[in-house]
Chains A and B, each alone.
Chain A
Amino acid sequence: MPLPNPSDTELLDQFRDPATREKAYTAIIRKYQEKLYWHLRRMVVNHDDANDVLQNVLIRVWNGLEKFREDSQLYTWLYRVATNECLTYLEQQKKRASVSLSEVETGLENKIRAEQNFDANKLEWKLQLAIQQLPEKQRIVFQLRYYDEMPYEEMSRVLETSEGALKASYHHAVKKIEDYIKNH
């Protein structure tokens, strides 16, 4: 009979013990790496960029997990680390290119068009293009809600924003996406 998977709390306890630290870290990353990857990939579009950001996130997790106080769920904390790292990355790209954020978004749109299997006529790809038209924060809210199915309560912990503001942001985002798809 296979052993049941340890809970996040058990994994965190193991992480705090130097003898089992790496083993616990491995288990935590195996559990959440794909979710984090897709969260980042939808934000930065390109695989190489997502890989760079994710590696940085996972190193931050290693360095910061010991101090994690378990006020929130591990999953929420991981999303917060990933979101912040991603925003920093996008900000750096903006500075490096000395362009405005809207130009970064145009760059993201170009990246989508350069993706393998891209088909401008397919609704799924149109949706990706529509998402990239959204302002950064709205884009994160939409992705977390639509793809990650994150409840507003958890999202408010990740983004440190009130549930009401997040709900309004999501509704605006849906309307804008709807308009984009209808007009393209």
Chain B
Amino acid sequence: MKKQRDIQEELASLESTLATQSIENVFVVPEGYFEGLLETVLNRIRNQEELESLSPLLSSLRKQTPYEVPAGYFEKNIAIPVSETKEQPLGKPAKVVSMGSRLMRYAVAAVITGAVVIGGIRLLDYNKSNVNPETAIAKQLGKDIKNQEISKEEVDDFLDLTEAIAAVDTKQEPVVNTGNTNLNDVSDKELLDFMDVLPDEMN
């Protein structure tokens, strides 16, 4: 009360007509707004805390869509000018068929089916092009053994042979022909002996 009196006195000292005017609220609030507000806010807080615990990065981002809509887009597309609306002939009203939503459903279904088919084909191609020959041979070998097309003894022999080849291969030094033979560690005597051995046309 004292506060209000102070304010009225201040306004009177400024010779304002507001001093004599009662402070009236002219705005309207939807019914039950304040009863529901707290629950709405608490729900938002709970969502925020849930997201914080799941992903601090996501929760720190502002929920703002970065896209822009052309100026006046919604006004143009939502409000259909009266001149563009066709008058319905009087009499029996035309049946309303919601083509838009059905067509949209078909279109969405077609797009999804297409995407699945193309994805499948590409996946198959990918798998084909990425076949590991060793894995493929092993698989085929497994099948042949299962079907008794190759005997176990034949497989054992084959494995022994491949192990032997592998052992020889790994022991050998790789032969790299660089075309630039280094003869620094060959003595002159050895070179002369070698020259003697060569046929005449090569000397």
- Taking a contact as CB atoms under 8 Å apart, the answer to whether A147 and B23 are in contact is yes
Number of chain B residues whose Cβ lies closer than 8 Å to a Cβ of chain A = 29
Q: Chain A interface: which size bin?
A: 35 or more
Query: In the assembled complex, how far is the CB of residue B34 from the closest CB belonging to chain A, in whole angstroms?
Result: 6
- Taking a contact as CB atoms under 8 Å apart, the answer to whether A47 and B38 are in contact is no
| CB contacts between A and B, total, < 8 Å | 79
Residue of B nearest to A177 (CB): B18
Which A residues, 18 to 62, have Cβ-Cβ distances below 8 Å to chain B? 22, 25-26, 29-30, 33-34, 37-38, 41-42, 45, 47, 51, 54-55, 58-59, 62
Query: In the assembled complex, how far is the CB of residue B64 from the closest CB belonging to chain A, in whole angstroms?
Result: 10
Contacts of A170 in B (CB 8 A): 10
| Stretch binding the partner chain, chosen from A6-14, A77-85, A120-128 | A120-128
User: Known: A38-B25, A124-B26. Is A174-B41 also a contact (CB below 8 A)?
Assistant: no
Contacts of A41 in B (CB 8 A): 27, 29
- Taking a contact as CB atoms under 8 Å apart, the answer to whether A174 and B14 are in contact is yes
Which A residues, 167 to 181, have Cβ-Cβ distances below 8 Å to chain B? 170-171, 174-175, 177-178, 181
- Taking a contact as CB atoms under 8 Å apart, the answer to whether B48 and A29 are in contact is no
Residues 90-103 of chain A, each 1 if its beta carbon lies under 8 Å from chain B, else 0: 00000000000000
- Taking a contact as CB atoms under 8 Å apart, the answer to whether B27 and A59 are in contact is no
Q: Enumerate the 4 nearest inter-chain pairs by beta-carbon distance, A residue then B residue, closest first.
A: A149-B3, A58-B41, A124-B26, A174-B16
Q: Which residues of B contact A (CB under 8 A)?
A: 3-4, 6-7, 10-11, 14, 16-18, 21, 23-30, 33-34, 37-38, 40-42, 44-45, 48
